Chains A and B, each alone.
Chain A
Amino acid sequence: DAKTTQPNSMESNEEEPVHLPCNHSTISGTDYIHWYRQLPSQGPEYVIHGLTSNVNNRMASLAIAEDRKSSTLILHRATLRDAAVYYCILRDSGAGSYQLTFGKGTKLSVIP
């Protein structure tokens, strides 16, 4: 899997928007960008994924740069429950691999 780079940690005030960046400069044309998060003492949880176009779901939005070398996960109004480690993961449709490869992710702290 292509490598991703994320900041180690970020802070946000409650009810403020949060933009979590991810760099993936070696992304290939067939790599999908996935985001998972891991709440304290829980298993990872799917957040969103995309290929080229920006995506929205009930949890978040994913903004993908035109050259696809970076993406941003957007939480529109951070709540205390959003405090978690957020992982940006690339999945290659052609690689034939089943696994998710987790990096260290970004630890998001939400301040009340």
Chain B
Amino acid sequence: EPEVTQTPSHQVTQMGQEVILRCVPISNHLYFYWYRQILGQKVEFLVSFYNNEISEKSEIFDDQFSVERPDGSNFTLKIRSTKLEDSAMYFCASSVGRGETDTQYFGPGTRLTVL
């Protein structure tokens, strides 16, 4: 069964450094998402991406964040200058469509630790 993959599984970085989290969505999916989950808290939506542009973003997704689909398979989340509060699990997801019945398939996550 196709699945969403994410690399790395764990990223440790120093405050102020840039990080890039990588995702490979399911191959025939057209919509891509990033969510994050701070330890012990809810899963929070960050951004959705379709047709090479952001289609929706949350208040969390400020100028420090950017997303890109650099080639036909990868989908990346860049955090320009990491802060301590960016420490969280970051989940990538993808879906065929964006309708109310479309399932979002999530990857296993990247644990980001900012020191």
Contacts and interface: CB of A to CB of B under 8 A. Distances in A.
A98 B55 contact: yes
A104 interface: yes
A92 interface: yes
B43 A49 contact: no
Interface in B57-90: 58
B107 A98 contact: no
Contact of A44 (B55, B56, B99, B106): B106
B21 interface: no
B45 A101 contact: yes
A100 interface: yes
A33 to B, nearest CB: 10
Chain B interface residue count: which class? 20 to 34
Contacts, number: 54
Contacts of A31: 100
B29 to A, nearest CB: 13
A43 B109 contact: yes
A93 B50 CA distance: 18
Contacts of B100: 30-32, 91-93
A99 B108 contact: no
- Give the interface centre of B43, B44, B45, B105 by most chain A CB atoms within 10 Å: B43
Contacts of A87: 43
B113 to A, nearest CB: 15
B98 A103 contact: no
Given A44-B106, A91-B100, A102 B42 contact: yes
A12 B91 CA distance: 29
A10 to B, nearest CB: 18
Nearest to B31: A98
A83 B93 CA distance: 22
A43 B56 contact: no
B101 A49 contact: yes
Interface of A: 30-32, 38, 42-46, 49, 87, 91-93, 97-104
